[in-house]
Structure 1
């Protein structure tokens, strides 16, 4: 399964919507995503399971990539 992770790059700062980034991670569960990202020092805001329709849309973008962790 592929998850879309919304996060802030700096864990120590207050989250600001304009600074939110997103990445795609392949994992079996949300818990596994959190384990894989635990040592990255990022502030995870939300993790979303990506549906087939959303995945097809995201793949059409030229900057789409799934993080290998």
Structure 2
């Protein structure tokens, strides 16, 4: 499954919509995705599974890249 992660670059940074970044990660669950990126120091706001039409829409973006972190 592919998950979209909304995050701030620093754990100490207050979530502000204009500064929110996103990335896509393969994983079996939202919990696994959070564990995979825990060492990066991100302030994770939300992890959302991306499927169906939503995934197709996201794939149209030229910056669409899926990270495969072990």
Q: TM-score range by the shorter chain?
A: over 0.9
Normalised to the residue count of structure 2, the TM-score between the two structures is 0.92
Q: Over aligned residues, Cα RMSD in angstroms?
A: 0.8
Structure 1's consecutive aligned runs of 4 or more residues displaced over 2 angstroms after TM superposition are none
Task: Name stretches of at least 5 consecutive residues in structure 2 with no aligned partner.
Answer: none
Normalised to the residue count of structure 1, the TM-score between the two structures is 0.94
**CA–CA distance in 2 between the matches of 1:17 and 1:33?**
21
Task: Name stretches of at least 5 consecutive residues in structure 1 with no aligned partner.
Answer: none
What is the total number of aligned residue pairs between the two structures? 69
